[in-house]
Structure 1
Amino acid sequence: MVDADHDSWGRLDRRARAGIPAETYLDPDDPPRRGQYLPFGNGRSYGDSCHSDAGILIENVRRDRILSFDPGTGLIRCEAGVTLRAVLERAIARRFFLPVTPGTADVTIGGAIANDVHGKNHHARGTFGRHVTRLVLRRSDGTQMVCSPGENVDFFRATIGGMGLTGLILTADIQLMKVPSPHIQQHAVRFDSLDDYFSIVDRMDQEHEYSVAWIDQLATGRAMGRGVLLAGDHADGSCEFPDLPGKRRLSVPVSPPFNMLNRVTLRAFNELYYRKEKPGETVKTVKWPGYFYPLDAIGGWNRLYGPRGLYQHQSVYPAENAPEITARLMETARQAGHASFLTVLKRFGSEPSPGLFSFPRGGFTLTLDFANQGPATTALLDRLDHIVTAAGGAINPYKDARMSPETFAASFPDWRALEALRDPDMMSNFWARTAMKLQK
């Protein structure tokens, strides 16, 4: 029952953890003992929201059947362990696509709902939860309920973004999006500074379904905040790429003994990435895996950060002071001697999620990845938290592994509403070190 493979994607706290198959947990002839449990999907959360060291993880990834798919409407029903990749492989042939997808296709449907994930088109379509029409939830007392916008509404809202704390999701209905092609007509705009980005982002967001910017976090002076904005729309039906391009071929089989993504290597990478795009706007058609999931092409890429793992810091803050806050966050990291490999900046739209506990909200979101350097890194992250919360922003809980209870409360002042609907037997390391400490 004890398995060392229940890592989170950040690989910060690697240890053997107890887990049982979902079928064992659901066995009516051998019900589980009362205690602490937590659903576990495919381990793509960066922090400790997918861990329960005081309890047992329910391995839901093996429940991976697509139960039905209507090729006329695009409504798909599947078990919670189905990955987004499996949904796409089924839907693309009928010219449907996920209406919202995060940066990896290896997330399970249950994980996408529990974290109410967002994508490059949040400004246009909101979070994943907005496209869930129905789910079936199993509580630890054996109660099984259908939840939707019209039935068991409180549990429906609490489960979307509820990080697995309301119970085990069994199945979900997702409304997919009709597209002429899965591939993307990409508009790449190279910009020379952070001010240049903010001068073009309004237009790009209004004109395109997708919009996200890569930022060179190490650039200074006039080039501070330079980067590439990658906007896009689904290509027309004449696109000649195969619907399902070949599988990934590269992988990082073991973790190197040191961090390979350091300031020296990242400075060189940033220069190459910035220069590979021509000045101005370049338009071309790209395959959907490369646009939505570029890092999925490299299996185990998180191992490149070395044996101590990585922290990801994602924040959201109001649009009115976004240029100033973005610059302060990046400069604070530089002054602390930390280099971010994946520095991503985008706008969140104002469309609210149906979820009770959803991270995205109107404003701008900045994502920074840092190799774990011990106390120096956690001290930096605390400073970043303070900058964001002082500006009225929030920190993403399912990317986090160390925020304080006070930062959590500032980010989610209504957290007690989720606690009131939490399954009493469901507990995560994250909830134990934040919400539960606030109750004492």
Structure 2
Amino acid sequence: MCVSRMKDGYIFSFMSSTTDAPAPVPVSGWGRTAPTAARLTSPRSPDAVLRAVAEAAGPGGRRGVIARGLGRSYGDAAQNAGGTVVDMTGLDRIRSVDAENGVVVCQAGVSLHRLMQALLPLGWFVPVTPGTRHVTVGGAICADVHGKNHHADGSFTRHVRSFELLTADGTVRTVTPDGTPDLFRATAGGMGLTGIVLEATVELRPVRTSMMTVDTERATDLDDLMARMAAGDHLYPYSVAWIDLLARGARTGRAVLTRGHHAEPDALPRRLRRTPLDFRPGTLPAAPRLVPDGLLRPSTVGLFNELWYRRAPRARYGELQRIPTFFHPLDGLPHWNRIYGPSGFVQYQFVVGHGQETALRRIVEWIGRHGCPAFLAVLKRFGPGDPGWLSFPMPGWTLALDLPATLPGLPGLLDGLDELVAAADGRVYLAKDSRLRPELLGRMYPRLEDFRRLRREIDPRGVFTSDLARRLSL
């Protein structure tokens, strides 16, 4: 292999590989609903990633290649039927940490969990974390993940200074928001279809403890919940509401609203002040492998929702919680996706803009009328839109819910939700999608044609592709 430097990166040329191609293996998303078979390769260095892409782009690589992190995309974004899937978790080095200014340089396979382990003792926290910390930095960029602080801080890529991107021609480009804005916007939220992120430089958030100061309130219905969030979210960096989607009538949309700050040292009990930045996630026993389909029915989920709502305090302020408890409660239960049974589940997430509160209420009522057994349902407020052309967040309200794949009439139910969301000028989250009809995509993402144009320019042969890309003609 020979290497020559370019202004914005490198160009590599390759000799053909003499190794046998790996046999296809099943690959699926976290929802486990639509597995497909692909050749899975696990490189341990950037050079090995480059070789894998070169082979996929060669005569025998007609089905292309897509990168994969820790597999937390719920749908088919990191699947590539008949092609190559590159497992990036072997590129997990933290290159450098600027502990004075709060900047980390790391390879794309580093997880947010690992960053927390390394950075919290230094007084820094990741700028944005979704509902799981088991997400790679590369995945966080390509899905442009959001968290409980979007209303205050935006999505993950707002805090990315630069990243190294391997494109289809074998070039590794240094991509920045100002120097290469179009490529940055196409990659942020672009689901890995512009290339493979190899390394990134990310700005961090300063913290003084690994604890959170948390306020909890019960909301009697959806209007009460939205009023509380609209009036008070600006006082908190983090805000999220669990919502009961089975409640009907006057209780429609009742919820438990949880908001928090990073705790200051003087808020800690004396026993914790000696090690205020200690990070101990802890785990429960893994969910059992054999969980029957049909366990999560409207009757059982309705009982759970009733107990969960009544168990929550009407109002509690200043409770101390550990970071994993506040941000990632499900991470404490390994393989929690098994609780939906062998058929898996669909997570559906949409956003509608401010001014579409009536549409949101109509959607929540519609879900309730259909008796959807969703016990993991959360509502958040989004702030200003994000840089990516396919970034999901836009100013407004976002609702995410999990539904068992065996729910009777589920395809028609989700198609109906898509129509309601599109009619309200909203959109669904591609990192969680596995069944959206392609004709709706342009209505939901107005910069879609810009994304397609740039992708054709930098990857005219479609080397980087996925089941998601083929299904939606991205």
Residues 1:384 and 2:417 are matched in the alignment:
yes
Q: Mapping of 1:182-193 within 5 angstroms?
A: 182-193=210-221
SS in structure 2 opposite 1:251?
coil
Shift of 1:289: 0.1
Does residue 27 in structure 1 map to residue 51 in structure 2?
Answer: yes
Q: Residue 10 in 1 paired to residue 34 in 2?
A: no
The alignment's TM-score, normalised by the length of structure 1, stands at 0.94
- Contact 2:248-2:368 within 8 A present in 1 as well: no
Q: Which residue of 1 aligns with 2:431?
A: 398
Measured after TM superposition, the shift of residue 33 of structure 1 is 4.1
Aligned equivalents of 2:52 and 2:281: distance in 1? 42
Residue number in structure 1 paired with 2:100: 72
Supply the distance in 2 between the matched residues of 1:217 and 1:28 (Cα, whole angstroms): 45
**Structure-1 separation of matches of 2:405 and 2:375:** 13
Correspondence for 1:364: 397
Query: Which runs of structure 2 are paired with 1:189-338 in the superposition (5 Å)?
Result: 189-238=217-266, 239=268, 240=272, 243-322=278-357, 324-338=358-372
Q: Distance in 2 between matches of 1:279 and 1:79?
A: 44
Instruction: Return closer, same or farther for 1:232/1:28 CA change in 2, 3 Å cut-off.
Output: closer
User: Conserved in 2, the CA contact under 8 Å of 1:333 and 1:339?
Assistant: no
Deviation digits for residues 180-200 of structure 1, max 9, x if unmatched?
A: 223210010111111111221
- Distance in 1 between residues matched to 2:360 and 2:24, nearest whole Å: 40
Contact 1:184–1:234 (Cα < 8 Å) also in 2: yes
- For the structure 1 residues 220 and 81, does the alpha-carbon distance in structure 2 shift closer, same or farther, using more than 3 Å as the test? same
Q: Residues 181 and 237 of structure 1 are in contact (CA less than 8 Å); yes or no, is this contact kept in structure 2?
A: yes
**Are 1:134 and 2:162 counterparts?**
yes
Task: Give 5+ residue unaligned stretches, structure 2.
Answer: 1-21
- The gaps in structure 1 that reach 5 residues or longer are none
| C-alpha deviation, 1:44, in angstroms | 0.3
For 1:349, give the aligned amino acid. G
The CA deviation at 1:126 is: 0.4
Matched letter for residue 329 of structure 1 = I
Moved more, 53-62 or 105-114: 53-62
- How far apart, CA to CA, are the structure 1 residues paired with 2:198 and 2:277? 33
Question: Cα deviations across residues 88-137 of structure 1 (Å, max 9, x unaligned)?
Answer: 11110011111111000001000000000000010100000000001001
State the partner residue of 1:435: 473
On the 8 A contact 1:312/1:370 being kept in 2, the answer is yes
CA distance in 1, matches of 2:368, 2:255: 16
Rg (Cα) greater in structure:
2
Q: Is the 8 A contact 1:134 1:148 kept in 2?
A: yes
CA separation in 2, counterparts of 1:109 and 1:82?
A: 6
Alignment of 1:21-170 (within 5 A): 21-22=42-43, 23=45, 24-27=48-51, 31-34=55-58, 35=61, 36-170=64-198
Q: Which amino acid aligns with 1:107?
A: V
Are positions 1:407 and 2:440 aligned together?
yes
Q: Secondary structure at the match of 2:356?
A: helix
The match for 2:16 is none
1:29 Cα deviation after fit? 12
- Contact conserved, 1:48 with 1:429, CA < 8 A, in 2? yes
TM-score of the superposed pair, with normalisation by structure 2: 0.88
Matched, 1:349 2:383: yes
Letter in 1 for 2:283: R
Secondary structure of 1:225's counterpart equals coil
Question: What root-mean-square deviation, in Å, do the aligned CA atoms of Structure 1 and Structure 2 show?
Answer: 1.9
Deviations for 1:55-105, whole angstroms, at most 9, x for unmatched residues?
A: 211111111111111111110011100000001111100111111110000
2:5 counterpart residue number: none
Instruction: State the alpha-carbon separation in 2 of the partners of residues 37 and 289 from structure 1.
Output: 34
Q: Distance in 1 between matches of 2:254 and 2:25?
A: 41
